Every structure is written in structure tokens, then in C-alpha cells.
A and B are shown apart, each in its own frame.
Chain A
Amino acid sequence: MTGTFPLVDIKNVEKRFGGSGGFLSTRQPIVSALNNVTLSVQKGNAFCLVGESGCGKSTLARTVMGLHPPSRGEIHYDGKRIDDLSQRDRQVYTRKMQMIFQNPYASLNPRMTVRQTLEEPLKIHRPGMSKLEVRDKVEEVMRSVGNDPAWGDRYPHEFSGGQRQRISIARALMLDPEFIVADEPISALDVSIQAQVLNVMMDAQEDRDLTYLFITHDLSVVEHFGSHVAVMYLGTVCELSETKSLFAAPRHPYTRALLSAIPKMDAKGVDHLKMTGEVPTAMDLPTGCVFHPRCPVARERCKREVPELKENGDTKTACFAVEEAWI
């Protein structure tokens, strides 16, 4: 677990949707989902992406996984560029990179038994394995996520949400990947079950030396689970830092607002930094800093110029207020 070796390197990635005239329609509006995102995930990290809905965190995850190609920029895995590979060349990386989705009710095929679901990746990527080896592997992985291997012949509908999400995790672990992208894996679950699933993911990280890209809108989970955090707003990274320093001293006004919105158990009443308005749509990006219409400390410069992500003490922020120390 070296701390300096970038496993996944995202370089100046942009992603736009729409724009071309579709069938029977005139030009569609362009949605700029990602704007010049640069970040790298070191081996052994639990890298968290946080932000409100519509900030592009899922788009980034899907772009990394190759589920849609970036409009501009490059994605490197283990030193090699992977975003321009053909589907065939990409298969090598599919084995190393796996994904866990948000909703375990939608991401498991209802007509396949748990065993079929878990065996499928092996049939595709490891056709040489014998039946016995496959069976042993399924049992081993089922056990490691805390599910009884005897449940193999049941269908997804027979399981509770937490058990289903553990099956999704098991499916992602079947190929012994190095890197797992988890897109809000616990937000559809009860609080008590969230703890179970997080523990399974943390155990798997320890046992298998995994690297995570973990997407969530819940900062309390990040503080617990993440080693590094990128806070995203409207397709841009506005703060990037180690989890400890981010929680100890959030710099960017958006990060501060997000942190203050976490409901706290011992607080009297609700008390949070007010952000005015809601996330604007990515169809019509604000000029200058994308956060300025909601920012409590925005000044003239923020409306004109786009701040770059710059080193500021132990965190990186994209904010003029932090740079020029007026906050």
C-alpha cells in the first residue's frame, strides 16, 4: 500500500451530453456534466466523491468505468491510457475494475439465481475454470461478504436490501479486482444496514488490498470511510484533500455548507449554513465560478473568472475567496 502510486489518473476530463440533433428533433441542449476534472486515485485509497444530485459524480464514475467515453481528456489506469481502447482491449481492465451500483433492487437480474449472477463474470472472463473451482470461488466470496453460501439457489427477491447489496458486492469481488467504483452503494438502505454494508466493504479492502472510488452525498459516511475526498459541484471539483484535513478545516464555502448540513445527534434544533437557491442545471452553467450564485461570500471576480484548483495548505481548492483570503 504505497501512498504515491496513482492507480487511476483522471486528466482534464470533460463530458457533454446532447448537442446533436436527434431523430425528429431539432438541436438538443448541451448538458456539460463534467468540466475539466483532474484527480488521481492512489493505490490503497478509499477515494470519495461527494456532492449534491446533478453535480456529475456518477457521470465521472461511469466515465472512469468506460460506460460512456469522455468528450475530452484522458483516463489512465496503472499508467496506461484506457479511455480510447477498443472493447476487446478493454476486457483486461474490466477484470481489474468493477462497479457496485446504488440500487440493489435494480442492479441484480431478478430472473437469475444468486449463483448464476455470481458465476456469470467467471464464465466470461475466466472460461478455463473448472466447475469445482467456480463453485469454490462462489462459496468463498459469498462467505467473505457475510452471506450464507447455501443461499446460492435463491432469487434476488427473496433477500432484504442489505443482503442484496452484499450480493452486488460479491459479484464485484468475483474477479478479484484491484479497483472498485461504488456509486452510492448504501443510500438506498436503512441506517443500521448501512453499517453492515460499509463494514463488508472495509473488510474487503483490508483482505484484498482494494482501491475504492466511493460516491456518496452523505458526508458522515465519508468521514468514516474515506482516505481522500473530492467535493464536486456542477461538474467541477471544488475541493480536494485528505479526509482528515477536510473535516478538520474545510476551506471552500461549498464544503463548509455541505458539512454544516449533516444532521447531528447532539445538536439542539437544526442549524446549518444557509446556501441560497438550489443547484442550477448543467444545461446553463453560470459564468465564472460555478458556485457563485449560491455562494455567501461571492464577489465581482467570482462572476467573471473561473477559479482553478490550487494547493492551499494541505488541501486543494478552487476558490478565489480562499486564494485571496477574504473568507
Chain B
Amino acid sequence: MHIVVCVKQVPDTKIIKINPKTNTLDRRSAPAILNPYDAHAVQTAVSIKEAAGGEISVLSMGPPQAVDIIKKSVEIGADRGYLITDRAFAGADTLATSYALSKALDRISKEKPIDLIICGKHAIDGDTGQVGPGIARRLDIPPVTNVIEVSDINKDTRRVKIKRKIINGYELIETEMPCLLTVEKEINDIAYSPLPNMIKAARYTPIIWAVSDLEDVDRTQLGLKGSPTIVGKMFTPPKPEGGHMLDGNADDQAKQIIDILLQNKELFSVN
């Protein structure tokens, strides 16, 4: 089994602050982290490797500093990592991103055929969830989004059984490898990495590729040029008028809320 996990570096939203005057991100204090969903994707690969054997590569596109999240992935249990970094990739939307990553995956699969690709459900800085399915389409392999469990992997028949979250429940589906999964956070808990993994990661130097290292690349499909969507404008939505402020002390205020609830008694039934 050769599993490739696609990972992204994102600003840590737990720490990030908004400048209230300009409404823009204050990135000074926001360290870059491995997208939390992608951490679960790596952990999924580790569990599969533990059960079925094989090796795990991670792939990321981003600035040179993104090597840090590849090292983080090695801490969790990846065997190696690739970073594609190049000015030509800058400004990519989801379409151009899936194109660039698919070209890198082509090269990785030439070095060692890929059986499974795993992505996080979405990245917390964009929340789109479009890159994973886009990659699957470009590689013409089945995508399975919103995965909450990898139930069975049969290396001989090359088929996998997967639980996938849908509206009000889940479905159990079976598909063939290679395929691409995007995972939900609930699929697993990230294990506390053993010390040897930490030491390995601290030593590890990711493999770095520029556009020129990839084959058959149509440069017009990369970066800003290859992105059909652009940000037209940013705006603060018109302030709604707002409602009625309840006056008085806490007792009075609570009483007024009780009155509102009483007016909507149909929502309760008092036996």
C-alpha cells in the first residue's frame, strides 16, 4: 500500500485575531499550523498502515515554510513528504490547486504507484472542501468525501469499504483503489506521537519540487492565471437595525424573557 496524504498549512484560527478597525486578520500573532482535518487524514493513513502495511507520503503545496507541516506529518507517522513550492503556484484557487497537486501526484505515482489518497474534509482557512474531489476528478479515480470510517481494505480485490457522512446519517459504500478520501475529524483521535517519530521528524528534510520538476504542466492552469475565481470585493455587511433592548436590573430582564417565552407557549407543553 502506498498512501499519499495531501496536507495544507493554515494560520491557527484559535490564536488569530481580527483588527476591529480594518476588519483584517492580524497575522502577527498567528502561527502557521497543519490544517487540523489534515492531521486526521495523516492519522487515518497511519492506522491503515498499521493494519495493512505499506508506506505513507505526504504532499503539500505552499510557501517554503510549509516544510514545517510536512515534518509535523512525519511526527504523526508519515514516512516521507513532498512540498511543491514555486512563485507560479501563488494565488491559486481550488481549481488551480487541484491541478498543481495532481501533477505532483503524477510524479509521485511514477516513483511508486499510489493506492490511496487521503485529504482532510476542508482547510480551516478557506472552508471550501473542493480540492480533494477536484484531484480525484483530474486523476479519474473515485472520490469519497466526508469519510467517518474506513471499514475494510482488501488488498487482493483492491476494494475498500467506507462509511461516509450524509444528511441525517451515514452510508456504507464500497469502491475500488486507487481512490481518494476526504475525512471528517470524528474519524479518529490523533495519537500522541512516540519520541522516535519526533526525532525522525526533527531530522527530516522534505523533498522540494518546483514547477520545473513536474512533467506535462500547462502553466496557464497554475496559480492566479489558472484560477477562474477572484475576490471581487471585501465588505462589512450593512448593520442590521437590531432589536429591542431589555432594560432594568437582572431580575427585570429575566422577567421580560419569561414573558417572551410565555407568549410562545406553543413551543412547550406544560403537563
Same assembly: no
